[in-house]
Amino acid sequence: MAKLQPVRGTHDIMGDQARTFQFIQGVFQDIATRFGHQEISTPIFEFTEVFSRTLGETSDVVSKEMYSFEDRGGESLTLRPEYTAGIVRAFISNGLQQSLPCKFFGSGPMFRYERPQKGRMRQFHQLDVEILGVAEPQADIEVLALAATLLSELGLMDDVTLEINSLGDTESRLANRDALVTYFTAHKSSLGEDSLARLKKNPMRILDSKDEGDRALVADAPRISDYYNQASKAFFDEVLAGLDALNIKYVINERLVRGLDYYSHTAFEFITSKLGAQGTVLAGGRYDGLMEIMGGPPTAGIGWAAGIERLAELVSPDLVPGEPRPIAIVPVGSDCQEQALKIAQQLRTAGHAAHMSYRGNMAKRMKRANKADAIAAVIIGEDELARAVVTIKNFDDGSQTEVSLDQLMNHLSHYR
């Protein structure tokens, strides 16, 4: 029966986890809306080119992790591994350059062919925020403030650290890149295999190498901050001043980099030590060159994505609202079914949660109602029906009250 297992790295989301996801998404939507972002849902799949162009052929996602397939029409399609590329594609497809700035948020499933482990799945879920068309550092500050507000309303501010860096503008980054190539080429023989490959394609990424040997080399590598030009330094200072003004704590991490050329200025991550190896809960940065790579008009961009599974691991169950306590509808005898149905429908229409009791004798039904944490039961018996009354049992104080059908809704309104 192996076929009845879910695909490796995918999960069914239900029960407490489903409630936690819903809570996180609800808080996120609420905050993103307060920050002036509009919801966008892009398709789950796009032409493969949308991702291969924007994420870069050398990135881990494109080179190893994409779920790509040919559809029946022979098109190469890919299940989205992230949100940004689809949103930038949507911006171009819908000709939104007249409506800048565009502030978007979205959430939903993402797909990456990764080695499944704790905090790393093949289908996972992200919250995503993007601002298009704002080249000023105010956008960097705002998306970071949105992230901090979210983490704080999820009760996670004490669990996470904001690490931030600036890659500088194109000029600064290229100067740093040349220095890095010179430095690492001189120490080529001590570089790990992955880093050797990166030296040609993506030298900046050597700085976040996990290889022990590389780390020693990285410690003495040219520092990116030494290559900031005036404008880059001023930009970064303004972002940090904004964070200070909002009392958002951060640590500058000069090894926090992004490999691709369209990234510039701010890069950041909120990390935690509470999730083991997969400690990044939220990551983002500025990608001013991305729109042009996709064939759109030059348009600044900045955004972030957070893994919902990783957030859900951290969120305290006490914060997640439980389900409302239901009113149990307990018909006794088959002649009472129809009245039970009607009462359940009336209650649900009036906004109550009503749980229908389907089978068993009275004692069994009451036991089940209690187990479902019902606040009360409406007991509908044949004799009572003949007199147009029902019995309400209050599970909290054990009292039983006979109530006429006319007064039923009025009486039960006290239970909301």
Q: Which residues bind ligand ATP (CB under 6 A)?
A: 82, 112, 114, 119-121, 124, 126, 278, 280-283, 305-307, 309-310
Nearer to ligand ATP, 147 or 377 (CB): 147
Which residue has its beta carbon closest to ligand ATP? 307
3-state secondary structure the chain: CHHHCCCCCCCCCCHHHHHHHHHHHHHHHHHHHHCCCEECCCCCEEEHHHHHHHHCCCCHHHHHHCEEEECCCCCEEEECCCCHHHHHHHHHHCCHHHHCCEEEEEEEEEECCCCCECCECCEEEEEEEEEECCCCHHHHHHHHHHHHHHHHHCCCCCCEEEEEEECCCHHHHHHHHHHHHHHHHHCHHHCCHHHHHHHHHCHHHHHHCCCHHHHHHHHCCCCHHHHCCHHHHHHHHHHHHHHHHCCCCCEECCCCCCCCCCCEEEEEEEEECCCCCCCEEEEEEECCCHHHHCCCCCCCEEEEEEEHHHHHHHCCHHHCCCCCCCEEEEEECHHHHHHHHHHHHHHHHCCCCEEECCCCCHHHHHHHHHHCCCCEEEEEEHHHHHCCEEEEEECCCCCEEEEEHHHHHHHHHHHC
Nearer to ligand ATP, 210 or 371 (CB): 210
Nearer to ligand ATP, 187 or 255 (CB): 255
Q: How near is the Cβ of 71 to ligand ATP at its closest, in Å?
A: 24
Nearer to ligand ATP, 19 or 120 (CB): 120
Q: How near is the Cβ of 296 to ligand ATP at its closest, in Å?
A: 21
Nearer to ligand ATP, 46 or 373 (CB): 46
Q: How near is the Cβ of 204 to ligand ATP at its closest, in Å?
A: 14
Q: How near is the Cβ of 113 to ligand ATP at its closest, in Å?
A: 9
Q: How near is the Cβ of 9 to ligand ATP at its closest, in Å?
A: 8
Q: How near is the Cβ of 119 to ligand ATP at its closest, in Å?
A: 6
Nearer to ligand ATP, 45 or 304 (CB): 304
Q: How near is the Cβ of 147 to ligand ATP at its closest, in Å?
A: 11
Nearer to ligand ATP, 222 or 285 (CB): 285
